[in-house]
Amino acid sequence: GKLIIASHNEGKVREIRELLGPYGIEPISAAELDLPEPEETGTTFVANAELKALQAADLSGFPALADDSGLCVDALNGEPGIFSARWAGESRDFGVAMSLVNDRLDALEPEAGLPEISRDAHFVCALALAWPDGHVEWFEGRVEGALVWPPRGANGFGYDAMFLPDGGSETFGEMDPDAKHAISHRADAFRQLVTAVL
Ligand code: ITT
């Protein structure tokens, strides 16, 4: 049967297609179907993924998969978090968003006794799979790393060029798609989804 990807983010849709490829599933994107973008009123990644998936399943009549994700920076108390897309402004310029994150970190004073501000961060990906009858299943994946400056690499999307995963020497922006899929938050959530429903 058909599967809708309830996302209007090209970078995400590309990665979800790559992750579904081995299972012989060729999904249709919400943009291709001209589905509207719901307002993301949830206060958690899972809540936002769920509302996007439910709306797309309801409007299309097919199962729909939504992804709500973002970058959480420890020293910024988890920001930008669920607002990761919004920090790029109306023009969706992630050069601007990455500068904003870096400037916010640079503006912090180290805590007493600590030599410097932590640059630790993680990406979160919540996936929600919804059916037209209102049933929903969700999964949450995560990858730990640190933020580098200046950004490195032109692969990937969003904040990838400033994210250095733990144990690696290349940012997500420098990695090939397959290397990112071996460790990413999205791949982590996908492994859980595949185990549960495929
Ligand atoms: P949809 O809701 O239509 O799917 P969106 O871009 O609005 O698209 P989100 O609200 O989930 O999606 O925003 C997540 C943002 O977090 C996204 O725009 C990216 O900038 C960032 N992000 C998520 N996953 C990422 C990844 O793998 N690499 C880099 N940045 C990522």
The model's pLDDT over 143-195, given as tens digits with 9 standing for 90+, comes to 999 999 999 999 999 999 999 999 999 999 999 999 999 999 999 999 999 99
Q: State the distance from the centre of ligand 1 to the C-alpha of 113, rounded, in angstroms.
A: 36
Query: Per the annotation, does 152 bind a ligand?
Result: no
Q: For position 60, which CATH number holds? A: 3.90.950.10
Is 2 annotated to bind a ligand? Reply is no
Tell me the C-alpha distance between 35 and 53, whole Å: 11
Asked if 121 and 73 count as a contact pair (C-beta separation under 8 A), the reply is yes
pTM of the model: 0.96
Residue with CA closest to ligand 1 atom 17: 85
Instruction: Say which of 67, 68, 106, 120 is annotated catalytic.
Output: 68
Residue to mutate (ligand 1; options 159, 170, 180, 186; most atoms within 8 A of CB):
159
Q: In which domain, by residue range, is 188 found?
A: 4-197
Ligand 1, residues at Cβ distance < 6 Å: 7-9, 12, 37, 40, 52, 67-71, 84-85, 94, 123, 156-160, 172, 184, 186
Structural domain count, the chain = 1
68 given a catalytic annotation: yes
Does the interface ipTM go beyond 0.90?
yes
> What digits encode the pLDDT tens for the residues 95-132?
999 999 999 999 998 888 888 999 999 999 999 999 99
The rounded Å distance from CA 76 to ligand 1 centre is: 18
